[in-house]
Amino acid sequence: MRDQPLTLEDTNLLVQLDDQMAAVNARARQSLVQITSGSGWHKGAGAGTIWHPDGLIVTNAHVIARGRVQVTLPDGQVLPARVLAADENLDLAALQVEASDLPPINLGHSKTLRPGQWVTAVGHPWGVLGASTSGIVIGAGREFPELVAQGREWIAVSLHMRPGHSGGPLLDAEGNVVGINTMITGPDVGFAIPVDVIKSFLKTALGRDEDSAHESARTHRDSLI
Amino acid sequence: MSEILKSLSDALAANTEAVSPSVVRMETRRRMPATGVVWNSDGVIVTSNHVVERDDNLRVGLPDGSTVEGKLVGRDPSTDLAVLKVENASLSVPHWADVSEIKVGHLVLAVGRPGKQVMATLGVVSAFDTAEKMRIGGALDYYLQTDVVMYPGFSGGPLMNAGGHVLGINTSALLDGVSLTITATTIKRVVETLLKHGKMRRGFLGVGAQGVKLPAVLAEALKQEVGLLIMVVEPGSPAEKGGLFMGDTIVQIDGRALRSPDELVNALTGDLIGRTVTLRVLRGGQLQNIEVVVGERG
């Protein structure tokens, strides 16, 4: 153990870490939308994640449970949204807005997640737009001591998720989406639906294989000059 | 784009995986299981005393997925540690860290196995000091507080440093709402005593006492408001042999203030058995020193 003060090199490491965390957040916010559902006193609000440039948005079913869905894009544009599919048991919904060339979130994988991995959740907690919270994966799978056995898959994360994070992306250290923020069981413990579950939901509900669609869309964009 | 963040993420996951073979599940209470840590290759397991709610029908979930019977070796409520033994299990002993290297601000991982797989939470060392300075009694050698989230079932699990070594065992039961870690120094002392004697040896004076306000002048001089008034002296006890009387007020033991019966209990650690302690006693308005040879609580 060293007793000397931090050297410039050490400080640089933390500064670089800061920069990279900020970059992950900045990139994620481009694919983060606000969602309101219902009207008047019964209005609900949450977050959504842009899944595809052609206007496909993924959120939680509970975020759109009050009817009449509107999406606010990162540039402030407010668009009506059509519900393509919603599954209350999975707490997932797929929305469509009339737009093109939206910046989609980078898709990651959830099956390979390991306890200890760094994750960041973005959303609009208590209405604070584009807010971020970071921590690590507590565990991923079907077995969590505080959940009544349901047999479904979750990612448990140790960070400060709050109402309004729902529907926003959970990102790994490289900025890839690994889940959708869905619920909390305490002030320091959040639960996200694994991205692999969302992929199969979209495949079943919409007949779309987003992994390959995404890949081709990205390739197409990358090839533009 | 994020090499350092990715490296940090990979390192945290790798540290969690590395300790995993030494982390077991304790099925030792009615509600959810908790966690234990392998102490040696003879099958000795250390966990938190408060998660071992019964003395038998103790099951230990091993990293290989099997569940075996554990036998209770002993408990020490004062450090919230319990020791169990399992037979014929091939167990992996973790690397223990040098406690003296702990610094406030260090990154730490808490690991637990309430289910089949290990789980982890991350935090930093919030406070680290010798326990005596922190005034939480003589039972702990060090006071190590972190801000790690104690996920359900994490009590009894290891706290790891950035180097992947185990700093101690986490408990949420000793201080309300605070994640305390019992460090290796204390664990070693408790485990060795429990393996040898089956219980923690505690010192014994043989008095019944209660807190009492000291006269104003004395309180000012001693910077101590309260002392311990002796209500009962057991016949034949170390206290009687040393010459303590009913009505004496003990204010210090070996120079340490005594303000409650709990502080006296904490002060009478096992290592004092057979040794002479000096009690500062108020008798007839005068302070005097009385020497007592500490006995052992039966």
Same domain, B183 and B291: no
- Mean of the per-residue pLDDT values for chain B? 92
Same domain, B164 and B291: no
Same domain, B193 and B98: yes
pLDDT in tens, B270-290: 889 999 999 999 999 899 999
Contact indicator for B231, B209 with CB cutoff of 8 Å: yes
Return the SS3 of A58: strand
Which positions in chain B touch A139 (Cβ < 8 Å)?
A: 115, 117-120
Same domain, B177 and B215: no
Stated pTM of the model: 0.82
Contact indicator for B53, B84 with CB cutoff of 8 Å: no
Same domain, B33 and B92: yes
Residue in B261, B258, B267, B260 with CA at minimum distance from that of residue B203? B267
The lowest-confidence range among A133-137, A139-143, B49-53, B171-175 is B171-175
Where do the DSSP E strands lie in B28-106? Answer: 34-38, 44-48, 58-61, 67-76, 81-86
Residue A217 has what pLDDT? 43
Nearest to B4 among A20, A117, A138 (CB): A20
Give dist(CA B99, CA B94) in Å, integer. Answer: 15
Same domain, B159 and B280: no
Q: Which of B199, B220, B240 is the last residue of a domain?
A: B199
Which positions in chain B touch A27 (Cβ < 8 Å)?
A: 1
Q: Which of B175, B199, B223 is the last residue of a domain?
A: B199
Give me the DSSP letters along B206-226: -EEEEEEEPPHHHHHHHT-SE
Q: For B19, what's the count of Cα atoms within 13 Å in the CB-facing half-sphere? A: 38
pLDDT in tens, B63-90: 999 999 999 999 998 889 999 999 988 8
Nearest Cα of chain A lies from the Cα of B17 at a distance, in angstroms, of: 8
Give dist(CA B31, CA B35) in Å, integer. Answer: 13
The lowest-confidence range among A148-157, B101-110, B216-225, B250-259 is A148-157
CATH of residue B218's domain is 2.30.42.10
Same domain, B9 and B87: yes
Same domain, B190 and B232: no
Question: Would you call A72 an interface residue with chain B, using a CB distance cutoff of 8 Å?
Answer: no
Same domain, B19 and B167: yes
A165 catalytic residue (yes or no): no
Same domain, B132 and B263: no
CB spacing of A136 vs B116 below 8 angstroms? no
Chain A's closest residue to B150, CA to CA, is A188
> What total number of domains does chain B contain?
2
Nearest to A135 among B32, B118, B122 (CB): B122
The answer for residues whose C-beta is within 8 angstroms of residue A175's C-beta and 6 or more apart is A23, A24, A27, A28, A106, B1, B2
CATH of residue B8's domain is 2.40.10.120
> At A4, is the pLDDT very low, low, confident or very high (cuts 50, 70, 90)?
low
CA A115 to chain CA mean position, Å: 18
Q: Which of B181, B199, B217 is the last residue of a domain?
A: B199
Nearest Cα of chain B lies from the Cα of A14 at a distance, in angstroms, of: 9
Same domain, B248 and B115: no
CB spacing of A16 vs B33 below 8 angstroms? no
End-to-end Cα separation, chain A, in angstroms? 52
Which positions in chain A touch B153 (Cβ < 8 Å)?
A: 145
Write out the H or E segment, with its range, that includes residue B270.
none
For residue B224, give its domain range: 203-296
